[in-house]
Amino acid sequence: MIIVTGGAGFIGSNLIHELNRIGENEIFCVDNLTDSAKFVNLQGAIFCDYMDKNEFRRAIGARALSAKHIRAILHQGACSNTLEDNGAYMMDNNFTYSKELLHYALQHRIPFVYASTAAVYGLSQRFTPEPENERPLNIYGFSKLVFDNYVRRLLPTIESTVVGLRYFNVYGPREQHKGRMASVIHHFMQQLKETSVIRVFQGSGGYGDGEQRRDFVYVRDLCRMNLFFAGLGDETFRAHSGRAADIYQGVFNAGTSASRSFNDVAKALMQVHGKGKGKEKAKIEYIPFPNDLAGRYQHFTEADTTMLQQQGGYTRPFTTLEDGIAETFT
């Protein structure tokens, strides 16, 4: 059995669908469906059991969940709202919950792959996973960094797989429930469909109109990365990765290492849907940078994947922005 926390969320649900695609159906889905809109992400998915996140945490704490048949834990469950200011809530969801699950995995030597974030880098212009580059701008990034550092301190004593993946700017299917926290690509497509106009920020942070740059990574690539480090599927790729060991450890960047501008995104979307509402020709409109994002916004991200490739042994090519957008929205 494979445990996927946050299984009804954006990345978690895509993980379950990807597991199904490679023939894995013994999946234990954990989530909190207070936001019931997320259920649509699991339509068509196959999983053997579901448990509410709070019930799951109690079961872990009481040692009431048998580990006998658990092959891997893919921990995607977290509060990912970068504008959430309740520090106690964020630390409980993103640090304490993760720590509880980590120790359960370590106790039973279950491969543990978890979601971290590029938000730990804040306004840094260097994106190697090293302390001097890690300056989060909000409690979300801080909560993730605290757990990354907790894992780092334990790694010398760990004898099983523990891998943290710092997701960069993820996009793809099944993110419609995220509202404002959905990717800029999702928002641009909604604007295109509804108004035929994609609204892009004017110049900011030293970049020209629409030239702010992000490392956009397709969600399926992240799913494949999770499965690789958990030892699930991908046998052909693993055999040619140069990595013979069955145990993987470290905190790695999960991005393409190639930043693209917002203008690039808008043009790629218009290639897929050149006309929006009323069949009007699509166009780009530049709007003022929002005041509420000042000092809280990454104008540039680009993953340094040297450690991912050299220490993690992951060298699989990433989906191009144009191909990922076409696959998502066609």
Which pLDDT does position 233 carry in this prediction?
A: 77
Ramachandran angles phi, psi of 95, nearest 5°: -110, -60
Q: How far apart are the first and last CA of the chain?
A: 33
According to the model, what pLDDT value does residue 182 have? 81
**pLDDT of residue 268 exceeding 50:** yes
Q: How confident is the model at residue 176 (pLDDT cuts 50, 70, 90)?
A: confident
- What percentage of the chain exceeds 90 in pLDDT? 80
For the cut 70, the answer to whether the pLDDT of residue 242 exceeds it is no
Residue 291: pLDDT band by 50, 70, 90 thresholds?
Answer: confident
User: pLDDT-based confidence at 311, cuts 50/70/90?
Assistant: very high
Q: What is the mean pLDDT of residues 15-28?
A: 97
Average pLDDT over residues 266-282: 79
For residue 55, CA distances in Å to 50, 51, 65, 95, 149 come to: 10, 7, 11, 18, 27
Nearest to 70 by CA among 80, 59, 78: 59
Position 330 confidence tier, pLDDT thresholds 50, 70, 90 = confident
Question: Where do the domains of the chain lie, and which CATH numbers do they carry?
Answer: 2-171+217-257+300-318 (3.40.50.720), 176-211+259-290 (no CATH)
Does position 109 have pLDDT exceeding 50, yes or no?
yes
Tens digits of per-residue pLDDT, 146-164?
A: 999 999 999 999 999 999 9
The per-residue pLDDT of the chain, averaged, comes to 92
Q: Burial-class residue 100 by CB neighbours within 10 Å (0-12, 13-18, 19+).
A: middle
The answer to whether 288 touches 231, Cβ cutoff 8 Å, is no
3-state SS class at 32: coil
In this predicted structure, the answer to whether residue 317 has a pLDDT above a threshold of 70 is yes
Does the pLDDT at position 310 exceed 60?
yes
- What is the structure's pLDDT at 234? 66
Query: Does the reported pTM lie above 0.95?
Result: no
Indicate whether 92 pLDDT > 90.
yes
* Predicted local confidence at residue 308, as pLDDT: 97
Lowest mean pLDDT among 2-16, 240-254, 299-313: 240-254
244: confidence class by pLDDT, cuts 50, 70, 90: very low
Whether pLDDT at 84 is above 90: no
Which sequence positions are flagged as catalytic? 140, 178
Spell out where the chain has E strands.
2-5, 27-31, 49-52, 72-75, 112-117, 162-167, 169-171, 197-201, 213-214, 216-218, 249-254, 260-261, 283-287
Please, which residues bridge with residue 275 across strands? 281
pLDDT classification of 276: cutoffs 50, 70, 90: low
pLDDT above 70: residue 240: no
Per the model's pLDDT, the better-predicted residue between 136 and 273 turns out to be 136
Question: Which pLDDT tens digit goes with each residue over 218-239?
Answer: 999 999 999 999 999 766 555 5
- At residue 245, does pLDDT exceed 60? no
